[in-house]
Structure 1
Amino acid sequence: MERILLLDSNSLINRAYYALPNLTDRSSGLHTGAIFGYMNMLINVINKYKPTHAVAVFDRKAPVFRKALYEGYKAQRKPMPEELAEQLEPLKNILRAMKIPVAEMDGFEADDIIGSISRQWEYPAIIVTGDRDSLQLVSDRVHVLLTKKGVSEVEEYTPERLKEDGLTPAQVIDLKALMGDASDNIPGVAGVGEKTAKMLLSEYSDLDGVYSHLGELKGKLKERLEEGKDSAYMSYTLATIKCDVPLALNMDGAELKIPFDESVREELLKYGLLKVADRLPVKIEEDKPRGYGYEVESINSESALGAYLEKVKAAGRMSVSLEGGVFLATDEKHGAALLPGQTLFDEGLEYGRALELLKEVLEDENIKKTVYDGKSLAHTLSRHGITLRGVEDDVLLLAWLDDANRTYKTQADAFASFGIDPACPACAAFALREIAGQGVKDKGMYKIYTDMELPLVPVLYGMEEAGFCVDKQGLIRLNGEFERILDELKRDIYALAGGEFNVNSPQQLADILFRKLGLKSGRKNRRGYSTNVEVLSELEDEHAIVPLILRYREIAKLRSTYALGMLPLVDENDKLHTVFRQAATSTGRLSSTEPNLQNIPVRKAEGALIRKLFIASPGNVLVTADYSQIELRLMAHFSGDSAMCAAFNAGTDIHTVTAAKVFRVPEYMVTPEMRRHAKAVNFGIIYGISEYGLAKDLGISRVRAREFIEGYFATYPGVKKYMNEAIETAKEKGYVQTLFGRRREVPELKAANANQRAFGERVALNMPLQGTASDIIKLAMLNAAAKLKEGGYASRLIMQVHDELIIDAVPEEAEQMKKLLRDSMENVVQLKVKLEVEVGSGPNWLEAK
């Protein structure tokens, strides 16, 4: 049976734009997030409702007839963002490739065209929209799918569902006539809201009924209706969807032809939308290979695997993937698959046995390997007694270096991002090596890949394997201490709130803060008023309960992450094996999970309690080395400011020097308060702090904060000059880079949104400093690892956190380890200022610093 799908396309793509991440096609630079959301919604609807015909309806820029009736119609609407507007034509091209007609007409809105099709074609129809105006079109034959949560969910409206809201389809127009519509700037009757309007319609059926019974009403409501009669009837006209628009389109031209032609897939791939293409039913021409046209051999016996491994030895290279099975390849076209559930397992060649047979080639240094995430693969193989050797390329690192703004949850995500068919991951790895490798070379980062990132993989693997010893009983005691603190905080919070409630519930907390205690409410989300840390921080001085809630959340997070959270991660040898994420940040910084050791508070008592539980292995001692003020030293180097460079090279305290110059006093007269302010400015400048941010951090007025910042730039004029030039260069080139050439694209600098542009400017200032610091610590790790190996030491490098390296040292090697770390870290690169390292040792992480 025929069923027509009518797409209110401007409404849908607009919702998708604001609901989804701002995706960008790497080849064209086109923003594609809204197209991605629209197409996924379309596929979901096609799969669920099985329409036979479809029309995509768009608005045009030309004035509509309603504007002639009321000049203020939609007058408050902001122009469509440039990043969204550029996606309209590509979307229309995709729809046309799908043979879905694109309908638009001067003088009329998409609603009018949709209404006319639904009435004139006289077949069952499904309207998909984010606009509640369309609910007036609901009937037994026409249903409306109203989007929720962007475009990820829809709610189907039938006459019965609309009745639950106390309305008939016709009353949707009457409702807007009475209460107006702020989104379309339809005025309605001043002072009549939704509740009153529904009450009137319940009593008098429609707008005419309300005005014919006006004499029955009293007081203000009657006055408002009398005064607003003309506005109400004009609003009725504005809200009414026209269903008699002359249509140039006939139903035969809107027939959906599924599966779609392969030209649709090609159109989607043109914009980097492989994930969407893979979801779409497409007719593949037999003589036209999909993706890279892999020839994948199915391995179903030991003899077949043995024969394939001879090909590997002859080729002298291979790729291996253990994601979803065992995949092998000798190049990007020819692969082999050992898949669960196929005859391979029926014949008894189990996973473990397959890996046994692969052991020889995987451990052969002379057979060069192309892998995805070699560190994880090495851990997996290690559990089967295999040492992975001969890794020549790690395509995860190449993909990340090619675009550090992207991260990938799976191999398939990475391949899809580059338009590579992920059907055979081993073949796809070779393809990704060529594409991303060329991109990295074109960006001048191949040396970072070969000399820094790739050699770092075995170092990080060794650190993860070694692990960090933890005082397990201390963890249990710390959990108890955190529980005690949380109980005390809850008692104090309940006392101030006037009763008990679930402190962890944002809804209950919002009710206490904004309704019961009457605090000024902040941003609203779909669940109610926001109580996130940003909102609460702004209210910190408004009521004594707010600091307690912030403190409660902080302790609860520390407890769940580092007390309760770490206990199950500690192995039978009381060691914690954190996972370093090498390809996860846009600056090149390492991050860690299980647990995230980067987030342990540095200057708080709880942070000290946690670090004290990280201990040396039995009989050993921890040796730590931490760069001193590395990012400030890098600012001195990049800016070349003579006063800042002189201060560092003289070995004086940079915060005291800054305070003395800004406050115009001798250094010996600098007070702790002056130094604290200078320190806040020194570090704040690196992150592009504003006068508002500095005022908030220091608890001073914005005028005073502005004076501090102006005094700072007067003291270090080279810094101001560098910052201005860095932003202008980034705008000109579209990217920033580190001292070593690591690059990060900054598309935000060209954004239409002012907040995004401001973020781009902060990135342009911060990334070269943070990224260079990251490069330096990585090179230091490589230096230290090489010296440990060359010296045949028993001590092991076990941790990197921020600007710090930690060695689990044999006591008799402790002093050598201090020297080894200092030499490895201070001599990485020659700057205009000296790199300095603070070295210490002790039985635990806290006392070693």
Structure 2
Amino acid sequence: MSDSPTATEPTLLLVDGSSYLYRAYHALPDLRSPDGFPTGAIHGFIAMLKKLREDVGAGHAVCVFDAPGPTFRDDWYDQYKANRSPMPDDLRLQIAPIHEAVKLLGWPVLEVPGIEADDAIGTLACVGASQGHKVLISTGDKDLAQLVTDRITLINTMSNERLDVEGVKAKFGVPPDRIVDYLTLIGDAVDNIPGVDKVGPKTAAKWIAEHGSLAGVMAAADSIKGVAGENLRKALDWLPQGKRLVTVVTDCELANHIAGWPAIENLSLREVNREALLDFFERYGFKAWRRELESALGRGSAEAAKATVARFDSAPPAAPVAPPDLGAGLKRHYETVLTMPRLEHWISVLRGAELAALDTETDSLDPMAARIVGLSFAVTPGEAAYVPLAHNHPGAADQLPIDAVLAALKPWLEDAAAGKVGQNTKYDSHVLANHGITLRGWRHDTLLESYVFEAHLLHGLDKLAERHLGRKGLSYEDVCGKGANQIPFSQVDIERATEYSGEDSEMTLQVHQVLYPRIAANPGFRRVYEDIELPVSALLARIERHGVLVDGALLGRQSRELAERMLQLEQQAYEVAGGPFNLGSPKQIGEVLFNRLGLPVRKKTASGAPSTDEDVLQELAADYPLPAKILEHRGLSKLKGTYTDKLPLMVNARTGRVHTTYAQAVAVTGRLSSNDPNLQNIPIRTPEGRRVREAFVAPPGHVIVSADYSQIELRIMAHISGDPGLTRAFSEGMDVHRATASEVFNVAPEDVTGEQRRYAKTINFGLIYGMGAFGLAQALGIEQKAARAYIERYFARFAGVKQYMDETKRSAAQLGYVETLFGRRIELPEIRGGNGPRRAGAERQAINAPMQGTAADLIKLAMLAVQGALDAGAKQTAMVMQVHDELVFEVPEGELEWVRAEVPRLMAGVADLSVPLLAEVGVGANWDEAH
């Protein structure tokens, strides 16, 4: 791409810096400076700017960023960008260094409070074009296509795409002067701007072509048939506002930000500030760039200096913008297997491979219900095979019979000696189990490799390929479409399905080849991955597959009782409020509480309305009756909708049980999460919540057994801190809260009152979570001065705990992470460089994460130890749930004594700490009774 200016046609280059930020951040892996500061986005941004300066010979240029804070569009529409995820913390930390680097590289920087970068770019582009400049806008934002004219062009350096007037027409199906109309019809999910429901790009372009413009489409609304026409008519009142929101403003006042505005002579590219840039590269650990720049400053040969000066003034160093594509140079070939001889050939290849990647394509995301549509394999980079089995689109090629294929593959699939790697192998195991195949031989799982190596990042295969391979593969939406237009995978063209699935297998193999050596090189990573996460994944598949029995009739009775109580609460609330209102509407609740009853406003929402969140209602409930009734109603409504109504509907018709899905790669501390249904969040602080557990029952001839670690995080605190007082309390089997109260209140243990023990318990657990005087005062309902005195007394008696906390914060600030006893790493991006509150939050996390993470590791090791003993003894006892520090079993009555004796012993023996681990066991006909 070359866009050199001429003497008569100077070029103005406008860089969408906000777009570059995210592209740079996601293009590179998690790079760090020598002191642990994140640098991936900085590196990528610099490389892209230097490449751009080489490719586009512009005399004038500006790098434009979004300023923090609201813009005029937020005033126009209070839901603007309401659904946008917050900027990743690691990226936020890199913004200031990126601005510094851009300026050092000679680029003018523009950031205008109250307007978006798009509007500043639009204004600059129109002014530059009117003054005789050819304008190039470097961006990946489709919204800016509305600015394209014969003098304004969009360029995308990541994809080498160039959009002039004809390019816009070819890409979007409408000319640039109709892009605003096009965007208004389709809406913008990223910015939370509604369009016409169910109207996508094709329909929008078709309507504009038929009716000329948005105005023409709106005028013809009554004549447009079908669901789309009906939705268009519903949206007519909104569309003018939508158009206003998607229109880039081109007349912003920039005089206070650009000297001599509207003349753009002051926006010329300047020389690189090499001395300052040298210090910058040193500070952030960019060694290769620093060496090259040293040559430019005369600290090397004359030829090297001359070459390097040229590179830094116009071209980038050899460093890539993105990670190298490890498949570069490979001719990728993905075969569609349609005959038995070719299948037998691939089975032979799989048999001879040390490790093979396996991926299944299915008709459902529900692991217990999904059926196979096709399978793919890869054993070497660049090559893969896809076996279509259930594609049913028109013209689909004849496919091999699914039963014959699975019968041929079954010996290899069930061979534990045949090494396999996958992405989220637990799901594939379920899918094949649905077809009667017990999948064995999983050696590796790239999802878990990423989770252990970089728990704070996303672990989808697409993100892994981008981070570690520099590749961007096909997405599911690329092949199946989106939303209402999405088709099932069985209707995807077989050739396209081969490309998609074959790529998944082949990329999985390559990601493993990059990630696993990094894990194997770190003893802690390797232990967590190989000894904990991989075997736990296989065990979770067994637990999920077995499921848990629920009493639907009992849940039905509980639902009816909850409905009656909710109705009573509604009537009582209406009486207090002086009339009916919707107890499920925050807006109506706010109207009643603050306007009708005049209750004090405790805090406001982002839009300025009085908040009615749970914290506010809890605070008001202490003094006023209505907030208490609203809270109780809200709790019962959630309990009814989430559990008593829903659980009976989630019973699997084939098994008669409920089957949750445990997610491993979510919480950075290693804790599991439970989904569909979430069995870990059943509220147990209310009688109604505890009653839900009554519905989790044992089958005839069995009992439910609950085994729960006792005060596990406090015991870990005693071990990690080495505090003599805590260690002695646990080692001697004392009531640790009574022992703490004895120390804090300076009384004999036998003289500790119930209130003193309660205070000590709150202090013990509060300090684990980094609670300060303010938080403790709120928790205990006392003055902050008294809370501070309690904490000071605690630390005076338990000096080892204070020392642990101080040393942990110092170490975390130096390293940027903390670790569990077993080597699991928890990154803390904001412990360095974050603002005060964020840094304080990171420090609290630094204190708690090693304990919470170690507890998560211990319960996983306990699961493995117990299941290993069950298997070794050929026991019929089944592990049916894991809930935080608790394991729940379905136990035949004849095995109860064994379970009662062995399970706590096994759980206590998974680690050798300086204080004893203790697991307590309960037994009952249902889960509630077992507590």
TM-score, with length taken from structure 1: 0.73
Q: How far does residue 557 in structure 1 lie from its aligned partner after superposition?
A: 1.9
The answer for the alignment partner of 1:531 in structure 2 is 612
Deviations 1:594-650 (A, max 9, x none): 211211223321231011111112221112211110110111111111111111111
Q: Following superposition of structure 1 onto structure 2, how do residues 302-381 of structure 1 map, counting pairs within 5 Å?
A: 302-323=340-361, 325-339=374-388, 340=391, 345-349=396-400, 353-381=404-432
Do residues 85 (structure 1) and 84 (structure 2) align? no
The answer for the alignment partner of 1:437 in structure 2 is 516
Deviations 1:770-801 (A, max 9, x none): 11111111111111111111111122122211
SS, match of residue 929 in structure 2: helix
Give yes or no for contact 1:471–1:574 (8 Å, CA) kept in 2: no
Q: Following superposition of structure 1 onto structure 2, how do residues 381-530 of structure 1 map, counting pairs within 5 Å?
A: 381-408=432-459, 410-419=460-469, 421=471, 422=473, 424-444=503-523, 445-518=525-598, 519-520=600-601, 522-526=603-607, 528-530=609-611
Cα distance in 2 between the residues matched to 1:415 and 1:553: 43
Q: 1:128 to 1:429 in 2, by over 3 A?
A: closer
The answer for the alignment partner of 2:191 in structure 1 is 152
User: Which of these residues, 688, 691, 697, is aligned with residue 615 of structure 1?
Assistant: 697
Q: How far does residue 750 in structure 1 lie from its aligned partner after superposition?
A: 0.9
Cα distance in 2 between the residues matched to 1:678 and 1:369: 51
Q: Following superposition of structure 1 onto structure 2, how do residues 169-248 of structure 1 map, counting pairs within 5 Å?
A: 242-246=261-265
Deviations 1:139-182 (A, max 9, x none): xx9999899999736799999979999xxx99999xx9xxxxxx
Cα distance in 2 between the residues matched to 1:85 and 1:335: 44
Give yes or no for contact 1:415–1:432 (8 Å, CA) kept in 2: yes
The answer for the alignment partner of 1:743 in structure 2 is 825
User: Which of these residues, 318, 322, 325, is aligned with residue 269 of structure 1?
Assistant: 322
User: Which of these residues, 735, 745, 754, is aligned with residue 653 of structure 1?
Assistant: 735
Give yes or no for contact 2:17–2:65 (8 Å, CA) kept in 1: no
Cα distance in 2 between the residues matched to 1:471 and 1:660: 46
Do residues 812 (structure 1) and 861 (structure 2) align? no
Amino acid at match of 1:334: E
The answer for the alignment partner of 1:254 in structure 2 is none
Cα distance in 2 between the residues matched to 1:342 and 1:162: 41
Amino acid at match of 2:641: S
Cα distance in 1 between the residues matched to 2:242 and 2:417: 74
Q: 1:334 to 1:726 in 2, by over 3 A?
A: same
Q: Following superposition of structure 1 onto structure 2, how do residues 429-828 of structure 1 map, counting pairs within 5 Å?
A: 429-444=508-523, 445-518=525-598, 519-520=600-601, 522-526=603-607, 528-541=609-622, 543-572=624-653, 573-828=655-910
Over aligned residue pairs, what C-alpha RMSD do you find? 4.8
SS, match of residue 592 in structure 1: strand
Cα distance in 1 between the residues matched to 2:730 and 2:256: 73
SS, match of residue 845 in structure 1: coil
Please list every run of 5 or more consecutive structure 1 residues that lacks an aligned counterpart in the other structure: 40-52, 62-79, 177-183, 185-235, 251-262, 275-287
Moved more, 702-711 or 336-345: 336-345
Cα distance in 2 between the residues matched to 1:359 and 1:23: 39
Give yes or no for contact 2:381–2:509 (8 Å, CA) kept in 1: yes
Cα distance in 2 between the residues matched to 1:352 and 1:466: 25
Q: 1:514 to 1:268 in 2, by over 3 A?
A: farther
Amino acid at match of 1:439: R
Cα distance in 2 between the residues matched to 1:292 and 1:727: 47
Give yes or no for contact 1:119–1:243 (8 Å, CA) kept in 2: no
Q: How far does residue 466 in structure 1 lie from its aligned partner after superposition?
A: 1.4
Cα distance in 1 between the residues matched to 2:706 and 2:385: 47
Cα distance in 2 between the residues matched to 1:352 and 1:611: 41
Amino acid at match of 2:819: Q
Deviations 1:40-97 (A, max 9, x none): xxxxxxxxxxxxx999733699xxxxxxxxxxxxxxxxxx97531234488999xx9x
Deviations 1:546-598 (A, max 9, x none): 33333332222222221122122112454211111122211111111121121
Cα distance in 2 between the residues matched to 1:291 and 1:817: 58
Do residues 120 (structure 1) and 128 (structure 2) align? no
Cα distance in 2 between the residues matched to 1:393 and 1:11: 38
Q: How far does residue 365 in structure 1 lie from its aligned partner after superposition?
A: 2.1
Moved more, 541-550 or 624-633: 541-550
Q: 1:617 to 1:34 in 2, by over 3 A?
A: farther
Amino acid at match of 2:419: K
The answer for the alignment partner of 1:301 in structure 2 is 339
Equivalent pairs counted in the alignment come to 712
SS, match of residue 330 in structure 1: strand
Q: How far does residue 651 in structure 1 lie from its aligned partner after superposition?
A: 1.1
Deviations 1:205-240 (A, max 9, x none): xxxxxxxxxxxxxxxxxxxxxxxxxxxxxxx99999
Deviations 1:501-557 (A, max 9, x none): 333233333333444444326233359554333444454446433333333322222
Amino acid at match of 1:85: A
Give yes or no for contact 2:30–2:39 (8 Å, CA) kept in 1: no
Moved more, 147-156 or 571-580: 147-156
Give yes or no for contact 1:5–1:128 (8 Å, CA) kept in 2: no
Q: How far does residue 268 in structure 1 lie from its aligned partner after superposition?
A: 4.7
Amino acid at match of 2:771: I
Q: 1:775 to 1:361 in 2, by over 3 A?
A: same
Give yes or no for contact 1:506–1:531 (8 Å, CA) kept in 2: yes
Deviations 1:693-739 (A, max 9, x none): 11111111111111111121122111001111111111222221111
Cα distance in 2 between the residues matched to 1:814 and 1:650: 29
Give yes or no for contact 2:449–2:516 (8 Å, CA) kept in 1: yes
Q: How far does residue 35 in structure 1 lie from its aligned partner after superposition?
A: 12
Moved more, 663-672 or 687-696: 663-672
SS, match of residue 846 in structure 1: coil
Cα distance in 2 between the residues matched to 1:769 and 1:665: 29
Deviations 1:752-775 (A, max 9, x none): 322221121112111111111111
Cα distance in 1 between the residues matched to 2:518 and 2:658: 37
Give yes or no for contact 2:866–2:903 (8 Å, CA) kept in 1: yes
SS, match of residue 322 in structure 1: strand
Q: How far does residue 471 in structure 1 lie from its aligned partner after superposition?
A: 0.9
Give yes or no for contact 1:463–1:798 (8 Å, CA) kept in 2: yes
The answer for the alignment partner of 1:72 in structure 2 is none
SS, match of residue 462 in structure 1: helix
Cα distance in 1 between the residues matched to 2:613 and 2:132: 50
Deviations 1:287-334 (A, max 9, x none): x96597533222222222221111111224321101474210113332
Give yes or no for contact 1:300–1:343 (8 Å, CA) kept in 2: no
The answer for the alignment partner of 1:233 in structure 2 is none
TM-score, with length taken from structure 2: 0.67
Amino acid at match of 2:353: A
Cα distance in 1 between the residues matched to 2:900 and 2:539: 19
